[in-house]
């Protein structure tokens, strides 16, 4: 029997003409792992929220949702609370109480579970997730990944049959995200809990799911195993195909023949069937503009007796370039940016600034907004940026009501009001979907056309490889091998694009899917144009 069945669900938000969900029918078997994907604003969240009455938005609706064959409307809130677990996107905001142990107990307290039973269940779940080591801690001191894991555990103590997760890794770095998804996979495999998960970054999760469903503007456009989905999206030339993993995109670019590879290993095997023609890739457009900013042998630590975060860091920023800095968690990327911005002073070495105005966009762009409308925030005289960043329609909105991507753009417009020479971006692509990310990269390029320099620190190797002029790896407090983008990434083994990892034996200089596709010979059919 299907754990969850959605029957011809239609939904329209109040004050809106266009329906957010159109005739969605979907069935999830008991113990299944379903991946729900689609671009931002396609209705993923709206659909998932319909799976729990307490979170269902107001509006006009028709159709049925059945849990174990029984309409959701007939199941009491109390029963739903226990049977359907829900994890939201924001790790930080979901935490209710100040202590880890209390957070784990919160759900069971709400259900009125007696303390003896409660103690046992909490202990069990803490052990399952390895939380016992930080059981005593304040929730505020946890890392983002730990917080999200705690949210997952806090839902699972209630022993749900169905676990719904709405983009749970959007705010996590790739390593924490992978760890979180592994935990979800364990819950599915070892506890047999039905999982319904929505996700932007498909690469790590596509292989875990039994089935994948794709939503396109509120309509279910495809549903099936990941391979079937890849094939269907390719055949229908769906714009969402651009969000597929690199191996799938190359497979599509080569005409979609044979078995669709889902990961780097399979993609590599596929490429062996082709000969990759040696191509002379031009180096990323080198911008040898004047030097605007320079860190020279900079040392920094936060506390006098603490460890050095930066240890003799050297970095130069030229006019009109995009410089990307990649690196693991806690390697000092944000610290380096704040050195460039001048908001932290090094204890040794000196940042040299040739009178360049520097603007920093913090990781949380929300911190920039204090007024009641975007128009007030931006003031006048910013017409050009407002156009370029596609903000004209948003000017009268409250900055707090904007979506993540819109906030990011508005924040850039806001920092540009001080007409800076250097723009520093801290993890700008966090939580963006693949399609918007590409547009965002184009916007950044357009900004550098008039000589603005952009420095971005990011976990997103693919984005940096596509849009940066120069790139470097921050490790052990130093910037290692900052150089022209192509030579930097092709020299790496791990910090490089998936396309490069697949093609490196035959064509070590290729970085992007398009480049690999263009170089492939024995192509049986012309390449598809969607990329």
Partner 1 sequence: MRALHCAVSCAFFALVLIVTMLVLHPAYLLISLIGAAGSLAALTGLHGLGQRLKWVLPLMLLTVFFNAAFQHRGVTALFYLHNGNAVTLESTVFGLCAATMLAAAVLWCGCMHQVLTSDKLMALTGWLLPSISLLLSMALRMVPRVLRCLKETYDAQKAMDGLTGPLAVPRRCVRALSGTVSWMLEHAVVTADSMKARGYGVGRRTHFHRETWGQSETLFGLTLLVLAGLTLLGIFSGSGTEVFYPSLQFSPPTMKNLAAWCCWALTCALPMLIEGKEALQWRRSGSTI
Binding site for partner 1 (CB under 8 A): 52, 54-55, 76-78, 81-82, 85-86, 88, 90, 92-99, 101-102, 105-115, 118-119, 122, 138-140, 151, 154-155, 158, 341, 343, 359-360, 362, 364, 366-370, 398, 400, 414-415, 417-418
- For partner 1, the closer CB: 214 or 455: 455
Reading the block at residue 3, the tokens are 């754990």
CB count within 10 Å of CB 433 equals 23
- For partner 1, the closer CB: 99 or 445: 99
Place of tokens 């979800």: 184
Task: Walk across the sheet containing 453-458 and list its strands.
Answer: 358-361, 422-426, 453-458, 322-326, 470-475, 478-484
Instruction: Locate the DSSP E strands across 362-492.
Output: 422-426, 453-458, 470-475, 478-484
Q: What are phi and psi of 134, to 5 degrees?
A: -115, 25
Nearest distance from C-beta of residue 92 to partner 1, angstroms:
7
Nearest distance from C-beta of residue 225 to partner 1, angstroms:
30
- How far apart, in whole angstroms, are the C-alpha atoms of residue 518 and residue 531? 12
- For partner 1, the closer CB: 76 or 380: 76
Give how far Cα 451 sits from Cα of 96, 262, 419, Å.
Answer: 46, 40, 11
CA dihedral (61, 63, 68, 71) positive or negative: positive
Nearest distance from C-beta of residue 151 to partner 1, angstroms:
8
Chain centroid, CA 445 distance in Å? 21
Mention every residue, 6+ apart, whose C-beta is less than 8 A from residue 452.
320, 420, 421, 422, 423
Nearest distance from C-beta of residue 76 to partner 1, angstroms:
8
Nearest distance from C-beta of residue 320 to partner 1, angstroms:
22
- For partner 1, the closer CB: 107 or 327: 107
- For partner 1, the closer CB: 139 or 469: 139
Nearest distance from C-beta of residue 361 to partner 1, angstroms:
9
- For partner 1, the closer CB: 49 or 437: 49
- For partner 1, the closer CB: 89 or 497: 89
Nearest distance from C-beta of residue 3 to partner 1, angstroms:
18
**Structural Rg of the chain based on CA atoms:** 24
CA dihedral (417, 420, 425, 426) positive or negative: negative
């Amino acid at each position: 029997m299907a754990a969850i069945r959605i029957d011809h669900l239609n939904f329209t938000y109040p004050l809106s003409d266009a329906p957010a969900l159109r005739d969605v029918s979907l069935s999830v078997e008991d113990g299944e792992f379903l991946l729900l994907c689609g671009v931002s604003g396609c209705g993923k969240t709206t659909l998932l929220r319909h799976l729990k009455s307490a979170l269902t938005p107001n509006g006009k609706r028709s159709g049925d949702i059945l849990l174990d064959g029984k309409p959701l409307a007939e199941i009491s809130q109390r029963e739903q609370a226990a049977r359907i677990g829900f994890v939201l996107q924001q790790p930080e905001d979901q935490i209710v109480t100040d202590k880890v142990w209390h957070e784990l107990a919160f759900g069971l307290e709400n259900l009125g579970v007696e303390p003896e039973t409660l103690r046992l269940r909490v202990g069990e779940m803490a052990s399952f997730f390895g939380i016992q080591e930080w059981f005593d801690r304040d929730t505020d001191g946890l890392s983002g990944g730990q917080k999200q894991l705690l949210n997952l555990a806090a839902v699972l103590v209630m022993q749900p049959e169905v676990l719904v997760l709405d983009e749970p890794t959007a705010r996590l770095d790739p390593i924490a995200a992978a760890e979180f998804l592994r935990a979800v996979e364990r819950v599915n495999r070892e506890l047999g809990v039905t999982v319904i998960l929505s996700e932007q970054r498909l690469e790590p999760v596509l292989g875990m799911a039994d089935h994948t469903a794709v939503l396109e503007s509120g309509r279910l456009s495809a549903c099936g195993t990941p391979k079937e989905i890849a094939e269907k999206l390719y055949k229908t030339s769906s714009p969402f195909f651009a969000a597929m993993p690199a191996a799938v995109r190359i497979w599509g670019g080569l005409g979609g023949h044979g078995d669709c590879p889902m990961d780097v290993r399979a993609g590599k095997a596929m490429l062996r069937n082709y000969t990759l023609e040696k191509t002379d890739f031009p180096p990323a457009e080198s911008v040898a503009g004047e030097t605007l900013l320079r860190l020279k042998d900079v040392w920094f630590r936060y506390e006098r007796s603490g460890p050095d975060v930066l240890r003799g860091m050297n970095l130069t920023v030229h006019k009109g370039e995009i410089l990307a800095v990649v690196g693991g968690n806690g390697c000092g990327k944000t610290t380096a940016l704040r050195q460039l911005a001048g908001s932290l002073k090094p204890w040794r070495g000196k940042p040299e600034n040739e009178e360049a105005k520097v603007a920093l966009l913090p990781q949380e762009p929300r911190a920039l907004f204090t007024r009641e409308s975007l128009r007030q925030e931006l003031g006048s005289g910013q017409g050009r940026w407002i156009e370029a960043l596609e903000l004209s329609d948003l000017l009268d909105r409250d900055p707090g009501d904007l979506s993540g991507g819109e906030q990011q753009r508005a924040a850039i417009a806001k920092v540009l009001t001080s007409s800076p020479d250097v723009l520093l971006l801290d993890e700008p692509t966090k939580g963006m979907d693949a399609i918007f990310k590409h547009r965002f990269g184009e916007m950044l390029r357009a900004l550098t056309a008039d000589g603005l320099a952009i420095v971005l620190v990011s976990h997103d190797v693919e984005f940096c490889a596509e849009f940066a002029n120069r790139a470097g790896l921050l490790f052990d407090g130093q910037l290692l091998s900052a150089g022209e983008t192509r030579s930097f990434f092709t020299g790496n083994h791990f910090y490089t694009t998936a396309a490069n990892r697949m093609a490196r034996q035959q064509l070590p200089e290729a970085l992007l899917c398009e480049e690999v596709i263009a170089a492939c010979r024995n192509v049986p059919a012309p390449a598809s144009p969607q990329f």
